[in-house]
Structure 1
Amino acid sequence: MSCSLSQKLADEDVAFEVQSRDLSQLLLTPLPYGQIVELPKGVVTFDRYMNYKEIMSYIEELPSKYPDKVNLEELGRSNEDRPIYLITINRNNNSRKTEKPVIFIESGAHAREWVSPASALYLVERLLESPSLLRNAEWRVVPLLNPDGYVYSWNHDRLWRKNRVPSSDPQCFGVDLNRNFAYHWGEVGSSTKPCSAIYQGPHPFSEPETQALRDAVLEVQNRTKAYLSLHSYGQLFLYPWGYTTAVNHSKTGELVTMAEGMARKIKSASGANYTISGNTGIFLIAGASDDWVASLGVPFVYTMELRDTGNSAFHLPEELIASTGEDLWAAMKYLGRQLEKKKKRKRN
C-alpha cells in the first residue's frame, strides 16, 4: 500500500490493516510447480496443487477404479479443445435410471482460484469413502469448468480469471464464465468490454464451457435439490439473489438456516469461520451460475467462497488445501443429511 493511500485513509479516519506491503512479490515470485515430479497415473494429492495433466489423469481413472460408483461424462470441449468432465457418484452406478435427488457441485470457473477444483476433488475422494451419503442422493461434480484458463494460470499468468476465447479486440482474450449465464445477463457487476476481467461475453451462454454446464444442469433440473458453486476466497456462503438488493429469494429463511448449519459444522470440524450472506455479501453481480440455477427452481443454491481471509489472495498456501477440502466436506455432509431428513418428513 502506498504512503499516499495510507495517509488518505488515515486522514479520513478509515480503519485499515496492511496485509501485505508488496503483494506482487507473493504473486509474481516463480512458484515451484515447474519442477514438480508428476504424480503416477490416476493418483491424487492434496499436499500441493495439481497441474492440469494430473487432474485429468485422476478423473479419467475414476470409472475403472470405482466401476460400481462412478460414471464419467464429457459434457463438451473448451475453446482450446480440452474436455469438460462431469463426475457422477452414485451407489450401484445406475445414474441413468435412478430417481434419487441430485446434489450438483460446480468448480473451477475462475482460473486463478486453484483451491476450488482441489476442493472439488477432495469432496469426490471423501464421497467415494462414504456409502451412507450415496444411499439416498446422487452427487454430480464438474471439477474444472474452465480448463483453458487453468492451464493459462499455470503457464503464463497466475492471476488469470477468464477462459481463453478470442474477442473482438485482438489484444484481449476471455469471457468471465460466471457472468455468462442467462439470468439478468449483462446487468450489474459485469462488463461489455472484452479487456475487462468481468467481461460478460457477446450474449448469454456464448461460451462452450457455460453451454456444457447449462445442458448438464437442465438434464437433471427436476431432480436437483441443491447446487453449489465453488469459488475463492472469503469464507462465505452466498445465497440468491446476487443481481439485486431489491428482491428477496422466496426461500431466504430456509437458505439461511441451511447455510448456518453448514457453517456450524465447519466451525466444529476445523475452527474456520464462514459467514452467511445474501445479495450484499461482496458486491452485486448478474449473469452468475448460482442465480441462473436458482431461477430454475432448485431449492438450495449457494456460492461457497472458500478460504481464506488472510493475505495470500488467490494463492492459498498449499498446507491449507486439505483443510479447505475438509471445510467443504463438513458442509456437504450436513447438506446431504438434511436433505435426507426433509425427504423422509415429506414422505411421512
Structure 2
Amino acid sequence: MRTVARLALVAIVISGLIGGATNLPSRTAQGQTTIGEADLAIWRVKVSSPAEVSRLTSGGWDVLEGRGDDYLLVMGDSATARELEAQGFTVSVDQLLPSERPDGLFSYYGGYRTVVEHYQHLDALAAAYPDLVSVVDYGDSWRKLQNAASGYDLKAICITYKRAGDCAQNPATDKPRFVLMAAIHARELSTSEQAWRWMDFLVSRYGVDADITALLDHNEMWIIPVVNPDGREIVESGPTTPYTQRKNANTSLGSCSNPPTGSSQYGIDLNRNADFQWGGAGTSTSPCSLVYRGTSGASEPENYYLQNFLSSLFPDQRGPALSDAAPQTTTGTFITLHSYSNLVLLPWGWVECNSSACPPSQQSPNDAGLRSLAFRMSYFNGYNTGQPSEILYAASGGTDDWAYGVLGVASFTFEVGPGSGTCSGFMPAYTCQDSTFWPKNRDALIYAAKSARQPYTLSLGPSTITPTLSLTTTVVGTPITVTAPINDGTYGAIGINRPASQAIAAAEYYLDTPPWAGGAALPMAAQDGTFNSTSEVVSAQIDTTGLSVGRHTVFVRGRDDAGNWGPTTASWITVVADPSSYVYMPLIIN
C-alpha cells in the first residue's frame, strides 16, 4: 500500500508553511534550504475529519502510510503542494528528499537484488534442495504479453518436505498453506529482501530446527518474491537514484512522466486493482496518479494471474455476502509485504470508519480471529495493529481484502520499516534488512505459518514457547522431563481493540504424531500446581520405554479457559539403545 518517498536514506527535516512561489524556502539546523520546483519532498497535510481523509486519499496524490494525530503525508514536488493548497488543504514541509543517493549507500549488486537475481535465487534453491523446493511459473507480466522478448514470467516458490502431489496448484491438499508475497509496489525494495530471507531460513533450518522441520513436514510455504517485476525493473533503471515507480509498466493509458516521478507515472497501482470492492476509497481514475485503479478490477495481467494462482492454492471458504463469515475450520494464511510505517493491517481495508475503532458493522465477519492473529504477529514485530481505516486510511482494491473477501483466507498486510528516522523509507540502508527488519519479522512469519491449519481458532489460543528437555539424548527406558511456558498474553502492545488474555486451563504433549494426525494427547501439569494464570510453566515426564532408537518429535500445545487450543511447538529427543543390552562376541583370529 505504501506510497512514499523517492529515497529516504537521508532526509533533511525542515518546517514551514508553503507559499505560492516557485522556490519555497525553509530553515534547517544547518542553515537555509531551498526547495526547487523539481525537488521531491514529503508534505504534511492537515486533515480534520474522515471526509477530509477520504478526499485526500481519493484525490490522486501520492499519500503515504505515515499518519499523525491531525495530518497525513503526501510525496510530491512544489506543484503538488500548490495543488493541495488550491483544494483547501493546509500544507507544510515534513522532509526534503535528496535528488541523488549518497555514494556507497545503495547498490543493487552489493545489496538489493534485481529481479533477475531474485529469479536466479529461486532456481538455485530448487537445485540445492530438490526434496524441499519447487518453482512455478503462474503467468506473464504486462510487458511480456506485449512482446515475448521483454517482460517477465511471474514466479513463485513452494517449500515443503515433498511427497507425491505436494506443491500442486490444486486447493485439495491436506497440507495447510501459508503464502507470503512481496513487491506488488515496485519501489518497496525491503519487501523482496525479507521474502529472500524467509526462503533461506526455511530451507537452511530443515533437519536442524525441530519446529521448522515439523512446519515443513506438515505445511506448504509459498513465496512470491516480486509480484510486479516490470515495475521493479523500472526502479532498477534509475541512473543515480532508483526510480520511484510504484505501479506496473502499462503505458497504454494517459500521458504520464517518463521517467517516472513521485507524482506522475505510467501504469496501474496493482494494490488498487484487485476485483473485490474495486474502485472505492483511496483510488483514482486519473491514469498518471500513483493510486490509479485501472479500467476494471483485475484489468492487469499481474493481478489476473495472481488471483488465479491464489485460487489454485486455496479453496473458496467464504460465502458471497459481505456478512458471511469463513468457517472456523478455514485453512490458509496470507501476508502481503509493503513498506513502510511498522503496521500490521487486517481486513477490511476498503471500509471508511468514522471513528478510531471501526464499529462491528464495518468489521469483517471474522474480525475476532483476524484481529487475534494480527496481534499475535505484532507481539513479535512490535507493529501498530488494526484495520487500515483505524490506524491509517481506507484503500479499496487491495490484495489482502481480495484473498479474504473472495476465498475466506486469513489475510494481512505488513508495512515493514519505521515511519521516520533510521531504516525508514522505500530504500533504507541495506544493513537494515538484517539488523532490524528480519529479526523483527521472522517469528511473526513463523507464527502465521503455524496458524495456517486453522487460523481463526488457533490464534485465539495461547502460545507455546519452545519446550526444553531434561535430556535431549537418552537411553531407551530412561524418562525425560519436558517443560514449556504457555502464555495467552502474547499480543502486541499497540493497536486497536487488542484482545483480552485468558487464563491457561490445560496443556498436553504428543509424541511423533501431532493432534491433527490423530496422535494421542498426554497431559501436562502446571508447575505451580494450579492452572489459574494467563501464563503458566507446564511439564510432564516422557516414558521412553518401547520407543524405537532414533529421533522423536515432541509437540506441545496449551488451551485457555475459553476452550481455545493454540498452535503446537516442537522439540526433539533422541533415543539410543541400552549398552547393557548389547551382546558381545569374542573376536577369533585364525
Q: Does 1:207 align with 2:300?
A: yes
Report the CA distance shift for 1:31/1:298 in structure 2 as closer, same or farther (over 3 A).
farther
Match of 2:348 among 231, 237, 241: 241
**Other structure's SS at 1:175 match:** coil
Match of 2:384 among 272, 275, 282: 275
**Other structure's SS at 1:28 match:** coil
Shift of 1:35: 6.6
Quote the residue 2:254 is aligned against: 169
- CA deviations on 1:96-133 (whole Å, 9 max, x unpaired) are 28421111112110011000111111111111123222
Match of 2:280 among 180, 184, 187: 187
Q: Normalized against structure 2, the TM-score is what?
A: 0.51
CA contact (8 A) 1:86 1:143 kept: yes
Quote the residue 2:373 is aligned against: 258
Shift of 1:340: 5.0
- Report the residue type matching 2:363 in the other structure: N
Quote the residue 2:161 is aligned against: 91
- CA deviations on 1:125-164 (whole Å, 9 max, x unpaired) are 1111232221221111111001111111121353211011
- Report the residue type matching 2:184 in the other structure: A
Give 1:299-314 correspondences, 5 Å limit: 299-311=409-421, 312-314=424-426
Give 1:219-230 correspondences, 5 Å limit: 219-222=312-315, 225-230=332-337
CA contact (8 A) 1:265 1:331 kept: yes
Quote the residue 1:44 is aligned against: none
Q: Does 1:232 align with 2:339?
A: yes
Give 1:1-348 correspondences, 5 Å limit: 1-4=14-17, 23-25=96-98, 28-29=100-101, 32=104, 38=109, 48-80=111-143, 81-92=151-162, 94-96=166-168, 98-128=173-203, 129=205, 130-156=212-238, 157-171=242-256, 172-222=265-315, 225-244=332-351, 245=353, 247-266=362-381, 273-280=382-389, 281-311=391-421, 312-322=424-434, 323-339=436-452
Return the alpha-carbon distance in structure 2 between the equivalents of residues 265 and 164 of structure 1.
36
Shift of 1:52: 2.4
Identity of aligned residues (%): 25
Report the CA distance shift for 1:2/1:252 in structure 2 as closer, same or farther (over 3 A).
same
CA contact (8 A) 2:105 2:430 kept: no
Report the CA distance shift for 1:193/1:212 in structure 2 as closer, same or farther (over 3 A).
same
Shift of 1:30: 5.9
Return the alpha-carbon distance in structure 2 between the equivalents of residues 208 and 34 of structure 1.
31
Max radius of gyration: which structure? 2
Return the alpha-carbon distance in structure 1 between the equivalents of residues 285 and 273 of structure 2.
11
**Other structure's SS at 1:265 match:** helix
- Structure with the larger helix share: 1
CA contact (8 A) 2:272 2:278 kept: yes
Report the CA distance shift for 1:285/1:183 in structure 2 as closer, same or farther (over 3 A).
same
- Structure with the larger strand share: 2
Return the alpha-carbon distance in structure 2 between the equivalents of residues 72 and 215 of structure 1.
17
Return the alpha-carbon distance in structure 2 between the equivalents of residues 9 and 228 of structure 1.
30
Shift of 1:21: 7.2
Residue ranges of structure 2 left out of the alignment (5+ in a row): 1-13, 19-25, 28-43, 49-68, 72-92, 144-150, 206-211, 257-264, 316-329, 354-360, 459-513, 519-590
Return the alpha-carbon distance in structure 2 between the equivalents of residues 206 and 117 of structure 1.
24
- Report the residue type matching 1:336 in the other structure: A
Count matched residues: 328
CA contact (8 A) 1:127 1:133 kept: no
CA contact (8 A) 1:113 1:231 kept: yes
Shift of 1:166: 0.9
Return the alpha-carbon distance in structure 2 between the equivalents of residues 243 and 211 of structure 1.
20
CA contact (8 A) 1:251 1:299 kept: no
Quote the residue 1:43 is aligned against: none
**Other structure's SS at 1:92 match:** coil
Residue ranges of structure 1 left out of the alignment (5+ in a row): 40-47, 267-272
**Other structure's SS at 2:162 match:** helix
- CA deviations on 1:9-57 (whole Å, 9 max, x unpaired) are 99x9x899xxx975321x6326648876x48xxxxxxxx2112222221
CA contact (8 A) 1:238 1:277 kept: yes
CA contact (8 A) 2:119 2:155 kept: no
**Other structure's SS at 1:321 match:** helix
Report the CA distance shift for 1:189/1:31 in structure 2 as closer, same or farther (over 3 A).
farther
Return the alpha-carbon distance in structure 2 between the equivalents of residues 215 and 155 of structure 1.
30
- CA deviations on 1:68-98 (whole Å, 9 max, x unpaired) are 1111011112122212111111112522284
RMSD over equivalenced CA pairs, Å: 3.0
Shift of 1:308: 1.9
Return the alpha-carbon distance in structure 2 between the equivalents of residues 188 and 140 of structure 1.
30
Report the CA distance shift for 1:254/1:87 in structure 2 as closer, same or farther (over 3 A).
same
Shift of 1:167: 2.9
Return the alpha-carbon distance in structure 1 between the equivalents of residues 271 and 221 of structure 2.
22
Return the alpha-carbon distance in structure 2 between the equivalents of residues 239 and 9 of structure 1.
25
- CA deviations on 1:207-260 (whole Å, 9 max, x unpaired) are 111112111100022285111111010111100001113521112121121122
